[in-house]
Structure 1
Amino acid sequence: MGKARKRTGRALALAAGVLAAGVAAAPAVAQPASLSGTVTPNVAHGNPAPAGAYPFAVKFTMTGIPKPDGTTYDSACSGALVSRQWVVTAAHCFHDVNKKPVSGPPQYKKTTATLGKVDLADKGGHVLDVVDVRQYPNSDVALAKLASPVTDITPIRLARTAPVTGATLRLAGWGATSADGAPATHMQYGDVTVTKRTQYTVLVEGAKPSSDTSACSYDSGAPYFRRTATGPVLVSVESDGPGCPHTGAETTSRIDTIASWIDRNDR
């Protein structure tokens, strides 16, 4: 599948702590995606998600993405179910032929969302078409509408307060497990630490299982969340960063400052 990282395809390959899936705004490199269902045995310093973990985490699969020369490529992104029929992800995952993020039905041949499983070979879960997209105007965030409501998975709650510097967040998703790899077929996860925030972003750095735990190709839109006694709370989604794995800052898009916009649009 097409990959990219800097505002391009991303897929959590926490090469050190890890996850998966993402498209992008920069040119994506055409690459075959592995959809065999084989579990990558040991993601570098990462953790394969155990059965039943993070059912709200979404793997987007995009096929037939148009290029200006008339050819197409395939890619992937991650996201998180925030209501019965809507998934939050990165804005740059859904764009036109010129890589400009756009609202409306995806301009690709087909886009599907997989959720409710930790491995593509698992039975159950859901694979649903994406039928509409709504772009937030000032941040790298979009909402993707599923073809039908999901009633057996609890959507993740949205953060309503600012993230605290030093807080630990968990990243979970689908995607490459190395900078040049294809999207993973088994969900991965890892922990990061909040190092800074701006009006629309949260910067994070790898924490566990390694200091270079980081998002990777095909990972755009992957959820970063707080774990609480009453369930996970979505703090931000993957946006941009250096090549993976890395020990520097990763840029994620903040949720609490746009939660009211999500509330108005995810219905």
Structure 2
Amino acid sequence: MPRKSQVRSRRAGVLAAAAAAGTLCSIVPAGAVVGDTPVDGSYAYTVRLAIGDNVRVCTGALVDRYWVATAASCFSDDPAQPQALAAGAPKWKTTATVGRTDLATGAGVVTDVVELAPRQDRDLVLARLAVPVTGVAPLAVATTAPTAGQTLRVPGYGRTKTEWLPNRLHSGAFSLDTVSATGVGITGTGGAAVCKGDTGAPAVREVNGKAELVAVASRSWQGGCLGVPAGETRTGAYSTRVDDLGAWINQVRDGWWDTVTANPAARSSVYDPVRKTTTVFAVDSDRHVVSASSADGTTWSDWTRVGGDWQFASVPTAVFNPATGAIELFAIGTDGVLSQTYWLPDGKGWIEWYYQPTDKRFTGSPTAVYNPATKTAEVFATQTNGAVAHSYYTVGMTGWSGWYDIKANKEFTGSPSALYNPATGAIELFAVNTDGVLKQSYWLPGQDWNPWYAQDDNVRFTGSPTSVYNPVTKVAEVFATRTSGVVAHSYYTPSMTKWSGWSEVRSRQFAGSPTAVFDPATGGFALFAVDGNGVLARAEWQPDGKPWSEWTNVGDWRFTTGRFPTATFNAAAGTLDLFATGQNGVFNHASYQPGKSGWSGWSTLPGKTMVTG
């Protein structure tokens, strides 16, 4: 990383060259819009970006809880060459401050920028934040083209007429003069100008009382800004259009959400990023596996049978395989044979159930996981003899591998849980043995499965565990219900030498196994369990330094104890979908969408009586 003096001297050269060429001077990341001082809390979506050791300061706009739209030149080695910016982590540590009109206060959120997604055709980048921003409404992206004569408002943290590094956000009014395919020319009115430090500042248009993002600042003449020669009076600026990039912005956002939701803790529901749908599976009273799907989390298809007249005993499990585009589905039959099927987006529907020839018989429910590093889908299940076995498929194989025991231990009961940990490259596997001790194993590329071990032989569990990975905090976590009925958890991060040991999630008592899911809308976990009265409750953890929330009831309906509720995040709809079977065998659904008031309340997916789910 070049020293500050080197960066500054290079900037000066760029500005001089631009001026000599008779073009608009490039804004150099460092300071705010000359104009009014907004009242506290206004323009809360405006983001201050401190890049490196304050080598550069830029402005941006929050367009999603995780994403900031700003200028690519803020992060480029040479600000005059924004198209050279590479995707990935920023070269310099970058701190984003969101929702803080007055920088001297503690309002808003301060977090790091961890990923850049640049455009190659204009000075624009989407910068992903390490944690989602809550409490600040993102700025909507315009969907109609700007036209000459419109008035735009530009808020920014750059220099003013009198301050090099102001502590307050400033804003100014600009007339829209010219429109090109990728940008707009604007001119400050009433003394407003775009100054150093306003690179990436949002150009905002108000339509029917609602603000929308039209463009982000790219370069300016900087007339009237502190440090600019008095003879420079031009207040014109050039800003990069975003109104035509809604599909691209959604693609970047949804692509990341698809990635982080590809390894859910759910057993019987799955999000398919190809069709942008959530599909849930259950076993009906005829012992057939049936499925229902939704693209919006509200409207659900009718239940349809998966495959022919095969009969199943327990909750099926599903995993999306990005390497093949298939939904892989596994279920244990009434005869203990584990069968499987898959669905491809080729219009042919589910293939008929099949199984791998084996004398192994299984109990409980299977669990499945996808490893993106090795492009391997893997399924795990507990045998009737107490051993956990697995089978896997990697692109290039002619079929699934057949079944192999995870070590020789024949001591387990219930269903195992598995997750892929991208921070370590490991598949983590958890199961409760007949003594109630939760044991775990793991697999790393090029190695055999690690011997089973327990974090604490003195802590006893019942039912089956659930596990989940948080890509925001890089935490792998496992949950299980203790024999006392209290749900406990243990976690691991790459900086730790071993797992944390068990701690309880509050003190409420439950009768069945919990289900956990990563919620990218909050960057935290949502945890669900059914108590002895059949009431389904949830607890939440968010990366804000606070402990787990208290358990709260999700409505007052009654559910079957001892069964798994299941939850999945639908990246396209932005909803967290929750499913559970009522005491009358009816399958029910509730959902939560950030920005709306709480959970939706329960509704029934009619037409079937379920014996699982």
Taking structure 2 as the reference length, what is the TM-score of the superposition?
0.35
Distance in 2 separating the partners of 1:116 and 1:248: 27
Structure 1 residues 161 and 103: CA distance shift in structure 2, 3 A: same
1:252 paired to 2:239: yes
Contact residue 239 and residue 253 of structure 1 kept, 8 A = yes
CA contact (8 A) 2:193 2:222 kept: no
Structure 1 residues 97 and 223, CA gap change in structure 2 (3 angstroms): closer
8 Å contact from structure 1 (residues 55, 116) kept in 2: yes
Residue identity over aligned pairs, in percent, reads 33
2:73 counterpart letter in structure 1: H
Q: CA deviation at 1:230?
A: 4.7
Following the alignment from structure 1 to structure 2, what is the Cα–Cα distance between the partners of residues 93 and 248?
A: 21
SS at match of 1:134: strand
Superimposed CA distance per residue, residues 140-175 of structure 1 (whole angstroms, 9 cap, x where no aligned partner)? 110000001112111101111111110000000101
Question: Is 2:197 the counterpart of 1:227?
Answer: no
- Structure with higher RCO (Cα < 8 A, 6+ apart): 1
Between the aligned partners of 2:31 and 2:214, the Cα distance in structure 1 is 17
C-alpha distance in structure 2 between counterparts of 1:176 and 1:248, whole Å: 14
The answer (yes or no) to whether the contact 2:47–2:62 under 8 Å persists in 1 is: yes
Provide the residue aligned with 1:216 in structure 2: 195
Counterpart for residue 183 of structure 2? 201
Q: 1:53 aligns with which of 22, 42, 54?
A: 42
Structure 2 unmatched ranges of 5 or more: 16-24, 225-232, 255-613
Q: Residue 222 of structure 2 aligns to which amino acid in structure 1?
A: G
Q: For residue 13 of structure 1, what is the aligned residue in structure 2?
A: 32
Q: Which amino acid aligns with 1:55?
A: A
- RMSD of aligned C-alpha atoms? 2.2
What amino acid maps onto 1:199 in structure 2? A
In 2, Cα distance between equivalents of 1:50 and 1:258: 30
- Rounded Cα–Cα distance in structure 2 between residues aligned with 1:88 and 1:156: 10
What is the aligned partner in structure 2 of residue 22 from structure 1? none
Q: Does 1:183 align with 2:186?
A: no
Structure 1 partner of 2:90:
106
Q: How does 1:134-153 map to 2 (within 5 A)?
A: 134-153=117-136
Alignment CA distance shift 1:10-1:107 (3 Å)? closer
For the pair 1:265 / 2:244, whether they are aligned, the reply is no
Partner of 1:31: none
Establish whether residue 82 from structure 1 lines up as the match of residue 58 from structure 2.
no
User: Secondary structure, in 3 states, of the residue corresponding to 1:165?
Assistant: coil
- Equivalent in the alignment of 1:35: none
Give distance in 2, aligned partners of 1:120 and 1:10: 18
Q: What is the match of residue 238 of structure 1?
A: 217
Structure 1 residue 190, shift from structure 2 partner: 0.8
1:91 matches 2:91: no
How far is 1:8 from its partner?
4.6
Distance 1:249 1:217 in 2: 14
1:63 aligns with 2:63: no
Q: For 1:257, what is the secondary structure of its paired residue?
A: coil
Q: Distance in 2 between matches of 1:129 and 1:183?
A: 20
2:180 maps to amino acid: T
Query: 1:164 matched to which residue of 2?
Result: 147
Distance 1:89 1:120 in 2: 19
Following TM superposition, by how much is the alpha carbon of 1:7 offset from its aligned partner in structure 2, in angstroms?
3.3
Query: Cα distance 1:134–1:204, how it changes in 2: closer, same or farther (>3 A)?
Result: same
Distance in structure 2 (CA, Å) of the matches to 1:104 and 1:8 = 23
Which stretch of structure 1 is more off in the superposition, 156-165 or 4-13? 4-13
Using the alignment, how far apart are the partners of 2:221 and 2:192 within structure 1?
A: 12
Match of 2:476 in 1: none
> 2:186 & 2:48 partners in 1: Cα distance?
22
Distance 1:260 1:247, change over 3 A: same
Structure 2 residue aligned with 1:133, among 116, 125, 130?
Answer: 116
Instruction: Give per-residue Cα distances to partners, 1:66-111, cap 9 Å, x unaligned.
Output: xxxxxxx711100000011000000111124796422211101x21
Q: Cα–Cα, structure 1 residues 247 and 96, in superposed 2: closer, same or farther, change >3 Å? A: closer
Check conservation: 2:141, 2:212, Cα contact below 8 A: yes
Q: Which has the higher strand share?
A: 2
CA radius of gyration, larger in: 2
1:218 partner SS: coil
Q: Provide the C-alpha distance between the structure 2 equivalents of 1:124 and 1:243, rounded to a whole number of angstroms.
A: 30
Displacement of 1:126 after TM fit? Answer: 0.6
Q: Compute the displacement of 1:117 (Å).
A: 1.4
Q: CA deviation at 1:244?
A: 2.8
> Is this contact kept in 2: 1:159–1:235, CA < 8 A?
yes
Other-structure match for 2:394:
none
3-state secondary structure, aligned to 1:256: coil
Structure 2 contact 56–74 (Cα < 8 Å) conserved:
no
Task: Confirm or deny: 8 A CA contact 1:90 1:140 kept in the other structure.
Answer: yes
Could you tell me how far 1:242 is from its partner in structure 2?
1.3
Aligned equivalents of 2:207, 2:27: Cα separation in 1: 31
Letter in 2 for 1:214: A
2:99 to 113, 116, 131: 116
Structure 1 residue 123, shift from structure 2 partner: 2.2
* Matches of 2:27 and 2:88, distance apart in 1: 20
Checking the alignment, whether the CA contact within 8 Å between 1:7 and 1:92 is kept in structure 2 is no
Q: Any gaps of 5 or more consecutive residues in structure 1?
A: 19-45, 65-72
Shift of 1:11: 5.3
Is contact 1:166-1:195 (8 Å) kept?
A: yes
Aligned partners of 1:9 and 1:206: how far apart in 2? 18
| CA displacement at 1:263 relative to structure 2 | 1.6
Query: What code does the residue aligned with 1:192 have?
Result: F
Take 2:168 and 2:135, find their aligned partners in 1: how far apart are those partners?
Answer: 21
